[in-house]
A and B are shown apart, each in its own frame.
Chain A
Amino acid sequence: MSTVIRVEHVTKSYRLGAIGGATLKEDFARWWARKRGRPDPLALVDGEAHARQIGDQFWALDDVSFDVAEGQVLGIIGRNGAGKSTMLKILSQVTAPTSGQIRLKGRIASLLEVGTGFHPELTGRENTFLNGAILGMSTAETRRKLDEIIAFSGVEQFIDTPVKRYSSGMYVRLAFAVAAHLEPEILIVDEVLAVGDAEFQAKCLGKMGEVAKGGRTILFVSHNLSAIRSLCDRVVWLDAGRVRMEGTPSDVIEAYLRPANSETERGIIDERTERSGTGEARFKSVTTSTASGEASDQFYYGQTPIIVRGVLDVAEALPATVLELSLCTTDGLQVTFASTLDVADCAVRLAPGRHYVQAEIDATLVPGRYWVLLGLHRHPNGRTVDFVPRALDFEVLSSAQGSAPDFPYAPRGFVRPIVRWQLEQVPEHPNEICAQP
């Protein structure tokens, strides 16, 4: 397989403070100073010359290189501000890199947004042609695929109505339908799937999978790690403008979700920076243990309860609070939410000092890895005092304890609730009726 995208040492810097704020006078002053060999009069004055230059530059991308092979589906993940969108903008030629270069092979189409260029006064049909042309389809091509596009969008009835009368859902459907029928060799997709209802999202993901199977190369940026995991062959993790890791989806996603090294000492969350809240109280540590009180991060399938213990230091008296304990998967999908309000309809009063919290979770989780999320919120306004999104993780094994049956299938869903089944056989009257002459 040959390489169709080669990104080599790409950097992108923005001048801080200068974005949109330049005036002719400032530029003239700069030019005049340069002409006379004087330092830039508008640069920040502290520090030495070298540091200053770095001082008013922001490096959105810093020496990023990677290759994408033909037919590969590459996912790009990273936190907000890691440089994902900048990378896509450079790849789609919306903006140019500061240095480095990118080489591409074949027709490229980018979907940084659905419905780019839709005109509200024009009808759905008219916008299909317009949007298709903006995305790089010829009029003849759009005409050929028009029926297919309209059928996929599911807005047949309204296709000759101006799109300003569309609901936002219809608008997105039509827009995605156009985009889905592009036939570029390279497709760049950014978070497009974050729109529409669940059914439509599933349809979009299905279409993307289909496109990928058709041998086209796709670059896919998303916060939806499940989508990344199911669609991509390879994942690049961008962190602060650099490639932090590159590899198979499961490896990269797991590393991405693992807290940074300094924070990995199990259960100690005192200094954890990944948290939010007003800070009058802070969670110091957290542990998980079995019913017998034995600390463990592994539980057998069906083993309950899972006991979560936490240490909470309260600096200021809090008259009314709610404790939250949630679980989420390693893909970031929230599985459960539980709070102290569930069991007693009154808020918890916290006096200053150290508190020990214990929570027993009585849920049968499907095998997999789960994160514990700890939160303390004020009642009744819900303002967060302290919230640690990934305090601790634990694993539910697929094997059960003792004589209980193991989990028999590949994990599907997240919770196996206790279900009381009833099954009755329908009396055989129908047969008798049929038997009568």
Chain B
Amino acid sequence: MAVELDEGWTTVITPHRGWLDWRLKQLWGYRDLISLFVWRNFVAAYKQTILGPAWHVIQPLLTTITFTIVFGNIARLPTGGAPPFLFYLAGTVPWSYFANNLTNTANTFVGNAHLLGKVYFHRLVIPISIAISNLVSFGIQLAIFLVALAYYAVTGAGVHMTAWAWMAPVFFLMLAGYGLGGGIIVSALTTRYRDLANLVAFGVQLLMYATPVIYPASSVPAKYRWVVGLNPLTPVIEGFRRGFLGAGEVTLLQVGASFGVMVVVLAVGLMLFTHVERTFMDTV
């Protein structure tokens, strides 16, 4: 009889949970919450603004124009033969998706402590909904890029797409993976070491200069090649440019290696996240 009563427990709360106990099935059960968070992030961000979602267009355009003027016209950095505007746009669009994912998810625990301290839901709901929300602005920016690309192609500027363009979805997936993975690593660590939060924005900025975003990898002096070469984000940006602009130094092997690194970063992130999520309320 007693044995019978002991059966049918649906939840067991224990002190520790395995590093690999990610409960992805439970996460699937929260898909309604994820979509509502995505919707909230989008709607709430533009209430009481004049331009609303137009900011998704204005922001990358202004950044690219600035880059074009500063790096292209003033510093005269090489662009590997591609029109400067298109070249910088092809760098900043994927980069900003990665950077936004990282900086926004890095704040998961500390920024949502009031919510997470009051109610339980799968904690990954927050970073995932952020990555999906960012997908919206990324999509808009990508559309701008494609429009610009079409314009330059029609006017006959030096643009030739290659078969690498088919790899674009893989590159986007990798950018999401890196942004999310890096972001949740930082979010897990900031629950203990608050200083990291200050480092994130600054670190992402530095990382951009170590990645061929505003210059082609081919223009890097041999002495510093290894820095750019070791950066796992290099093949993603270079591959994207090679696909759409026809210029870029990248091999399939590099992409494969980078993909492997991305999987590791994501796995480490999930492990740290799983480890921290249960008790972070005690330290935040």
The residues of A with any CB-CB pair to B shorter than 8 Å are 2-3, 6, 14, 18-20, 22-24, 27, 89-108, 110, 112-113, 116-117, 119, 121-122, 126, 129-130, 133-136, 138-139, 162
Q: B15 contacts which of A20, A27, A99 (Cβ < 8 Å)?
A: A99
A-B contact count (CB 8 A): 113
Provide the B70-96 mask, 1 if CB < 8 A to any CB of A, else 0. 000000000000000000000000000
Whether A93 contacts B13 in the complex (CB less than 8 A), given A20-B284, A116-B115, comes out as: yes
Q: Are A3 and B5 in contact (CB under 8 A)?
A: yes
Q: Are A104 and B115 in contact (CB under 8 A)?
A: no
Whether A117 contacts B115 in the complex (CB less than 8 A), given A94-B120, A122-B43, A136-B121, comes out as: yes
Whether A2 contacts B5 in the complex (CB less than 8 A), given A92-B120, A112-B119, A119-B40, comes out as: yes
Residues of B within 8 Å of A2, CB to CB, are 5
Whether A19 contacts B283 in the complex (CB less than 8 A), given A27-B192, A129-B36, comes out as: yes
CA gap between A138 and B9 in the complex, in Å = 22
Q: Are A135 and B119 in contact (CB under 8 A)?
A: yes
Question: What are 28 residue pairs bridging A and B, where the CB atoms are less than 8 Å apart in the complex?
Answer: A2-B5, A19-B282, A19-B283, A22-B192, A23-B193, A23-B195, A89-B117, A92-B119, A93-B120, A94-B119, A94-B120, A95-B278, A95-B281, A96-B15, A97-B13, A99-B15, A100-B15, A103-B9, A103-B12, A103-B13, A104-B10, A104-B11, A112-B118, A113-B118, A117-B115, A119-B40, A121-B44, A139-B32
Q: Are B119 and A138 in contact (CB under 8 A)?
A: no
Q: Are B279 and A96 in contact (CB under 8 A)?
A: yes
Smallest beta-carbon distance B112→chain A, Å: 9
CA gap between A109 and B14 in the complex, in Å = 18
Whether A24 contacts B13 in the complex (CB less than 8 A), given A122-B40, A135-B119, A139-B32, comes out as: no
Bin chain B's interface residue count: 35 or more
Whether A94 contacts B15 in the complex (CB less than 8 A), given A3-B5, A122-B43, A138-B32, comes out as: no
Residues of A within 8 Å of B15, CB to CB, are 96-101
Q: Are A134 and B33 in contact (CB under 8 A)?
A: yes
CA gap between A99 and B192 in the complex, in Å = 21
With CB as the reference atom, state the residue of chain B lying closest to A117: B115
The 5 A-B residue pairs with the shortest CB-CB distance, nearest first, are A96-B278, A93-B120, A102-B13, A104-B11, A121-B47
Residues of B within 8 Å of A22, CB to CB, are 192-193, 283
CA gap between A393 and B141 in the complex, in Å = 74
Q: Any chain A CB within 8 A of the CB of B198?
A: no
Provide the B1-33 mask, 1 if CB < 8 A to any CB of A, else 0. 000010011111111110000000000000011
Provide the B182-221 mask, 1 if CB < 8 A to any CB of A, else 0. 0000000000111100000000000000000000000000
Q: Are A133 and B5 in contact (CB under 8 A)?
A: no
Residues of A within 8 Å of B40, CB to CB, are 119, 122, 126, 130
Smallest beta-carbon distance B115→chain A, Å: 5
CA gap between A296 and B29 in the complex, in Å = 64
Q: Are A121 and B281 in contact (CB under 8 A)?
A: no
CA gap between A92 and B278 in the complex, in Å = 11
Q: Any chain A CB within 8 A of the CB of B48?
A: yes
